[in-house]
A and B are shown apart, each in its own frame.
Chain A
Amino acid sequence: AQKVTQAQTEISVVEKEDVTLDCVYETRDTTYYLFWYKQPPSGELVFLIRRNSFDEQNEISGRYSWNFQKSTSSFNFTITASQVVDSAVYFCALSEAGEGAQKLVFGQGTRLTINP
């Protein structure tokens, strides 16, 4: 069965610090997709990134970067030079490419607080 674990329940850092959010997943499939979503205090869920299981290249988007390592089943998210606006709950998610049905499973989320 697929499973996503975000062991860090809450993280608090001071503005401009770098912070890494961990995500570990379990799946039996060889084809799957990983996602990160952001939930700001306003409550909506905002898509950040999608990565398929065949693409282990790290990705950088501005201050955000993602490190995907199949060997350790991890898909970690780093924010460089954090800002107060980065304060949110961040979710990692896993989707398996099964026949017909497709489950999309989320981790427990990490609440990130950036203090000025």
Chain B
Amino acid sequence: DAGITQSPRHKVTETGTPVTLRCHQTENHRYMYWYRQDPGHGLRLIHYSYGVKDTDKGEVSDGYSVSRSKTEDFLLTLESATSSQTSVYFCAALQGLNTEAFFGQGTRLTVV
């Protein structure tokens, strides 16, 4: 797993509540990513970061925000969770352009 840890691994939350998922890496990777995985859609990019406090939107960023105040942590926040955000969320990190991405174990989020 190249030192990438996601927390929590599983979470059930109610519609309308805020939720924060954490991705922690220990390898000083510059780039970090949040994806969601849904049947029939593969891995879709939510937000990504190319450095501390440098973030940008992916293809499915609506309803999500991110923060990266330290190299090692990349937080994904659902300000007001909806049932459509029920999914498996993966964090990834990589060192540079010609390196492969390493993934966390995933977080299964259920919004009821």
Q: Interface of B with A (CB < 8 Å)?
A: 1, 31, 33, 35, 40-45, 48, 50, 54, 56, 58-59, 88, 90, 92, 94, 97-103, 105-106
Contact = CB atoms under 8 A, between A and B. Distances in A.
B48 A101 contact: yes
B56 A52 contact: no
Contact of B94 (A6, A9, A104): A104
B98 A33 contact: yes
A33 B50 contact: no
B98 A47 contact: no
Main secondary structure of the interface of A (DSSP, over half): loop
Main secondary structure of the interface of B (DSSP, over half): strand
Interface of A: 6, 9, 33, 35, 43-45, 47, 50, 52, 91, 93, 95, 97, 100-109
Given A33-B97, A104-B94, A43 B45 contact: no
Nearest to A50: B100
A10 to B, nearest CB: 10
B40 A108 contact: yes
Contacts of A106: 35, 42-45
A103 B54 CA distance: 13
A45 B42 contact: no
B7 to A, nearest CB: 16
A93 B33 CA distance: 13
Given A45-B92, A100-B50, 7 more contacts: A44-B103, A45-B103, A52-B98, A104-B33, A106-B42, A107-B42, A108-B40
